[in-house]
Amino acid sequence: MVAAHGSHSASSGEWIACLDKRPLERSSEDVDIIFTRLKEVKAFEKFHPNLLQQICLCGYYENLEKGITLFRQGDIGTNWYAVLTGSLDVKVSDTSNHQDAVTICTLGIGTAFGESILDNTPRHATIVTREYSELLRIEQKDFKALWEKYRQYMSGLLTPPYGVMETGSNNDRMPDKDSMSSSVPSEKILRAGKILRNTILSRAPHMIRDRKYHLKTYRQCCVGTELVDWMMQQSPCVHLRTQAVGMWQVLLEEGVLNHVDQEHHFQDKYLFYRFLDDEREDAPLPTEEEKKECDEELQDTMLLLSQIGPDAHMRMILRKPPGQRTVDDLEFIYEELLHIKALSHLSTTVSSIFISVFNQGEEGTSWYIILKGSVNVVIYGKGVVCTLHEGDDFGKLALVNDAPRAASIVLREDNCHFLRVDKEDFNRILRDVEANTVRLKEHDQDVLVLEKIPAGNRISNQGNSQPQHKYIVMSGTPEKILEHFLETMRLEATLSEATDSVLNDFIMMHCVFMPNSQLCPALMAQYPFPSQGTEQEKMDYALNNKRRVIRLVLQWAALYGDLLQEDEAAMAFLEEFYVSVSDDTRMIAALKEQLPELEKIVKQISEEPKASQKKHKVLLQLFNTSDDRAQKRQPIRGSDEVLFKVYCIDQTYTTIRVPVSSSVKEVISAVADKLGSGEGLIIVKMSSGGEKVVLKPHDVSVFTTLSVNGRLFACPRDQFDSLAPLPEQEGPSTGTVGTFELMSSKDLAHQMTVYDWELFNCVHELELIYHTFGRHNFKKTTANLDLFLRRFNEIQFWVVTEICLCSQLSKRVQLLKKYIKIAAHCKEYKNLNSFFAIIMGLSNVAVSRLSLTWEKLPSKFKKIYAEFESLMDPSRNHRAYRLTVAKLDPPIIPFMPLLIKGKLGCYQNY
DSSP secondary structure letters along 612-661: HHHS--EE-GGG--GGGTTSPP----TTSEEEEEEE-TTS-EEEEEEETT
Worst-scoring range by mean pLDDT, 146-160, 569-583, 652-666, 741-755? 146-160
**Percent of the chain scoring above 90 in pLDDT:** 18
Region 679-707: mean pLDDT is 88
Q: Using alpha carbons, select from 887, 810, 799 the residue that is nearest to residue 847.
A: 799
- Please tell me whether the peptide bond between 185 and the residue prior to it is cis, using omega within 30 degrees of 0: no
* Rounded Cα distance, 286 and 203, in Å: 12
**Percent of the chain scoring above 70 in pLDDT:** 82
pLDDT surpassing 70 at residue 10: no
Region 98-120: mean pLDDT is 77
Q: pLDDT tens across 46-90, in order?
A: 677 777 878 888 888 888 899 888 888 888 888 988 888 888 888
Q: Using alpha carbons, select from 846, 867, 751 the residue that is nearest to residue 799.
A: 846
β-pair type (711-716, 681-686): antiparallel
Worst-scoring range by mean pLDDT, 88-102, 208-222, 285-299, 391-405? 88-102
pLDDT surpassing 50 at residue 708: yes
Q: Is residue 133 within a helix (H) or strand (E), and if so which, with residue range?
A: strand 133-139
Helix (H, G, I), strand (E, B) or coil at 347: coil
So what's the pLDDT on residue 394? Answer: 85
Higher pLDDT, 460 or 21: 21
**DSSP secondary structure string for all residues of 459-523:** B-TTSPBPPSEEEEEEEE-HHHHHHHHHHH--TTS-TTTS--HHHHHHHHHHHHHS-HHHHHHHH
Higher pLDDT, 198 or 414: 198
Higher pLDDT, 382 or 519: 519
So what's the pLDDT on residue 15? Answer: 80
Q: Using alpha carbons, select from 246, 225, 226 the residue that is nearest to residue 156.
A: 225
Q: Quick one: pLDDT band at residue 834, thresholds 50, 70, 90? A: very high
So what's the pLDDT on residue 185? Answer: 66
- Residues linked to residue 541 through DSSP beta bridges, in sequence order: none
* Rounded Cα distance, 231 and 622, in Å: 50
The CA-based angle 380-383-384, given to 5 degrees, is: 125
Q: Quick one: pLDDT band at residue 155, thresholds 50, 70, 90? A: low
So what's the pLDDT on residue 355? Answer: 36
Max mean pLDDT range (176-180, 780-784, 840-844): 840-844
pLDDT surpassing 70 at residue 350: no
Q: What is the dihedral of CA 669, 675, 681, 686, to 10 degrees?
A: -100
So what's the pLDDT on residue 51? Answer: 78
So what's the pLDDT on residue 811? Answer: 92
Higher pLDDT, 531 or 810: 810
Q: pLDDT tens across 763-803, in order?
A: 998 898 888 888 878 888 888 999 999 999 999 999 999 99
Helix axes 568-584, 535-560, angle to 10 degrees: 140
* Rounded Cα distance, 62 and 8, in Å: 9
Helix (H, G, I), strand (E, B) or coil at 268: coil
So what's the pLDDT on residue 196? Answer: 93
pLDDT surpassing 60 at residue 525: yes
Higher pLDDT, 633 or 751: 751
Worst-scoring range by mean pLDDT, 102-111, 132-141, 713-722? 102-111
Mean pLDDT over each residue of the chain, to the nearest integer: 79
Q: pLDDT tens across 312-341, in order?
A: 887 788 777 777 777 777 777 766 665 655
So what's the pLDDT on residue 156? Answer: 56
Q: What is the dihedral of CA 705, 709, 710, 715, to 10 degrees?
A: 150
So what's the pLDDT on residue 369? Answer: 82
Region 445-462: mean pLDDT is 67
Q: Quick one: pLDDT band at residue 172, thresholds 50, 70, 90? A: very low
Q: Quick one: pLDDT band at residue 382, thresholds 50, 70, 90? A: low
Q: Model-level pTM?
A: 0.61
So what's the pLDDT on residue 199? Answer: 92
pLDDT surpassing 50 at residue 570: yes
Q: pLDDT tens across 593-616, in order?
A: 888 888 888 887 776 544 444 344
At a CB cut-off of 8 Å and minimum separation 6, what does 634 contact?
Answer: 617, 762
Give me the sign of the Cα torsion angle 412, 413, 414, 416.
negative
pLDDT surpassing 60 at residue 742: yes
Region 833-848: mean pLDDT is 92
Q: Using alpha carbons, select from 130, 106, 101, 126 the residue that is nearest to residue 114.
A: 126
At a CB cut-off of 8 Å and minimum separation 6, what does 57 contact?
Answer: 23, 26, 31
Q: pLDDT tens across 484-497, in order?
A: 888 888 776 555 55
